[in-house]
Structure formats: structure tokens, C-alpha cells
A and B are shown apart, each in its own frame.
Chain A
Amino acid sequence: MDFVNQLQRKFIDYSSSLHREGIVDDQFTQLRKLEDENSPHFVMEVASLFFEDCEKLINNMAIALEQKQGVDFKQIDECIHQLKGSSSSIGAMRVKNACIAFRSFSDGQNREGCLRCLQQLSHEYSLLKNKLQTLFRLEKQIVAAGGSIPRVH
């Protein structure tokens, strides 16, 4: 039982650090509240959908920015809009903010600026993915050890 408690403590601490660092915001907490015995890994499930979405959109933007015959800024804008929406829905604050910054460069049709933003966005996404995967590993370890995931009150 002590082992489970340790894991749970680690989970709580790690979770707090994600909030402190601004990796996730209150919306992430809101999604945690939707978890229960019937749907204990809801956040993990939404996050993996988000990761797929994010990777696809980042990839599409990279390709669009590479086009020699001219960059389709409308397509870039559309990608940013989608990513901003889903990152907001999951509470991925820094990714969302990177999208907002990105938008001003795509509005200005500034290819160089967009490339820098895309790099920043990729960086934020990697950070988010790594940290959330660490959190979810803890989650799975707790459940495997027969414990329950500490719930938000």
C-alpha cells in the first residue's frame, strides 16, 4: 500500500508542476473532473487524439511553408485555427499560446516569421507530449498496482 501511496504522491506533485509551468491550464483540470470509475482514463484518451491531431497539423503546415511556388497562408491559417481550438479544449496552454502568436505571422503572410513560429510550436508540442506521457505512465502504474488515481475535488 505504501508503494501505491508513493506513486499517488508523485502523481499529485507532477500534476501540480505541469500547472505551475503553464503546460496545462484549468481546462485540463475540468477534463480530469470528468473521469470516474466508468471512464478512468478519459484524459489520456483525449490527449492521444490531440497528439495525433497536432502532429498532422504541424506536418501539414511544414509542407505548406516549403512550397516553392508560393505559400498557401490560408491553409496555414486554417491549421492554426484548428490547433488553437483543440489545444484550448484540452487545456494545453502553451501550445495554445504558441498558436495565437503564430496567427499574427500568418496574417502578415510572413514566411520567415511563420517558420520560426512553427519551430516554437513544435517545441511546445514536444514538451507537452513528453510531460503528459510521463504523467499518464504514473497513472497506469498506480492502476496496475491496484491503487486509484487521485481525483480533483
Chain B
Amino acid sequence: MRTTEKIDGYDLSTSDTEEVHVLAVDDSLVDRKVIERLLRISSCKVTAVDSGRRALQYLGLDEEIQKKETNGFDGLKVDLIITDYCMPGMTGYELLKKVKESSAFREIPVVIMSSENVIARIDRCLEEGAEDFIVKPVKLSDVKRIIDYTTTELREGEQREGARARRRGINKRKQREGDDDLSSSPPSTLSSSASSSPSSSIQSATAPLSPSTLDSPTRRLKMTSSE
């Protein structure tokens, strides 16, 4: 179900939270069956594969298989990858690296599972960009925790997109009205002094800004965190 807002010709659609699609990777059949069930119970769509190689193939990152440039994978968009560490052939760590090296897929959170609780291993994975590390055996609480923050991040990502588009819409309107006061724009998460225009600095590069807001460098705030 989608609700659509229109602001000054900008079409904004916010969808309800759709199911998170998880790509699960584990060479053990027993573990695959368990992780699949844990994920389904947590309302996720699951694609389970038995190797890092197959995971890359699914994503369309396997060098040996020629895929089209865009939409390189046949499957649904993957929202999260959860992989075992110790696998023959490609380890979960190697899969993590390949995903993070790819411009198309580096944003996908990758969670590593391992039966060995080795600090050095955990650190290595986190340094390489892993979202989280679960020590096996995996429990429902582990999966729920991960899905919770993945869903939150996805929703926040959509909200940020929506908020950006709304600000672009508002700025466009202000431009036309010749009004450079942006204080009526939606509140930003950055703290700002009364005289500055916080929203102008969070514009994406493509959005035109009213010339007067760019005049004074001191009016522009540095982006700190949220985006």
C-alpha cells in the first residue's frame, strides 16, 4: 500500500515497510535450514545459498558470469546479507570484502556468523565493514535484533530521501516566491543558530539553491552525522 504526497509537482511516495529480503549464506544444510526459519519467523524474505560463490552469482558479482551492466541480478533487491565465516572455497570474510568493494552492493549490510568467538576475527570483520557478528548457535533474539535495526535503517533511509525531496520542493517554491527565508522548512536534525538556514546545507548537489543562501559561507553548516 502506498501513500502519495504531492508538493509542488514533486511526487513523493512512501511505502509501508516492505519485507526485508535477506541473502543467507552457509555451507551447512542444517544451519541453512535453521537460519531460514529464524528469518522467516522474523517476517523476512529469504534466499539461502550454500557458498560465497553462489552468493556473488546471485548478486551478479561473479566475474565468470557475464551479466548486464544495470540490474545485474535476476533476484529481488537484497537488503541484508548474513553469512557464515568458515566455508570451503570462499570464506565469509572474503565474501564480505567482495561485497564492500563493489560500488553497487557496498551499502548492503553484511552480518557474519561464526562458531568461534575469536576477538581478532570479530575485529577483522568489523574493520572490513561488517555490520555485526553473531556467535553460533544463532538464536531468534540475534536475528530479531539485526532485522530491527536493518528495518529502521531502511525506513530512515526512505524518510531521509523523502525529507530531501520535500526540502527541494519547498526551496523551489521559495525561489519562485523570491523569498530566501528558509526558516519555515521542516526541522533538520542539526542544531543551528537562529540566523542561519540549516536546510540549505543538506541539499543534494542537484537541487538548486536560492542564491542568497549561498552568499555567506558562515551560514552554511557542516554536515555532521545523520546523512
Contacts A81-B86, A84-B115 given; indicate if A33 touches B30 (C-beta within 8 A): no
Taking a contact as CB atoms under 8 Å apart, the answer to whether B139 and A89 are in contact is no
B29 interfacial contact with A, CB 8 Å: yes
Contact of B140 among A30, A42, A50, A88 (CB under 8 A): A30
| A82 adjacent to B139 (CB under 8 Å) | no
B104 within 8 Å of A by Cβ?
A: no
- The answer to whether B34 and A89 touch across the interface, beta carbons within 8 angstroms, is yes
Number of B positions contacting A (CB below 8 A): 16
A49 touches B137 (CB 8 A): no
Question: Smallest Cβ distance from A98 to chain B, in angstroms?
Answer: 16
Counting chain A CB atoms within 10 Å of each CB, which of B37, B38, B137, B139 scores highest?
Answer: B137
Where the two chains meet, the residues of B that have a C-beta atom closer than 8 Å to any C-beta of A are 28-31, 33-34, 37-38, 41, 86, 115, 136-140
Across the interface, A49 reaches (CB within 8 A) one of B30, B86, B115, B140, namely B30
With A27-B137, A85-B136, A88-B136: A34-B38 Cβ-Cβ less than 8 Å: yes
With both beta carbons as reference points, the residue of chain B lying nearest to A30 in the complex is identified as B139
A89 CA / B29 CA spacing, docked (Å): 11
Q: Are A53 and B30 also in contact (CB < 8 A) when A34-B37, A88-B115 are? A: yes
Provide a sorted-by-A list of 9 A–B residue pairs whose CB atoms are within 8 angstroms: A27-B139, A34-B38, A34-B140, A81-B86, A88-B137, A89-B31, A89-B136, A89-B137, A90-B34
In the assembled complex, A106 has its CB within 8 A of some CB on chain B: no
| Distance of B108 from chain A, by nearest CB (Å) | 25
Residue of A whose beta carbon sits closest to that of B34: A89
Q: Tell me what chain A mostly uses at the interface: helix, strand, loop, or mixed.
A: helix
Can you name the residue of chain B whose Cβ is closest to the Cβ of A36?
B41
Question: Within the assembled complex, what's the spacing in Å between the Cα atoms of A24 and B34?
Answer: 16
Whether, in the assembled complex, A39 has its beta carbon less than 8 Å from a beta carbon of chain B, the answer is: yes
Residues in A neighbouring B138, C-beta threshold 8 A: 89
Asked if A86 is at the interface of the complex by the 8 Å CB criterion, the answer is yes
Q: How far is the CA of A91 from the CA of B86 in the complex (A)?
A: 20
Q: Please name the residue on chain A nearest to B31 by beta carbon.
A: A89
Chain A positions 50 through 65: 1 when the CB is less than 8 Å from some CB of chain B, otherwise 0: 1001000000000000
A27 to B30, CA, bound (A): 13
- Specify the chain A residue showing the minimal Cβ separation from B141: A30
Q: A27, A36, A53: which contacts B29 (Cβ < 8 A)?
A: A53
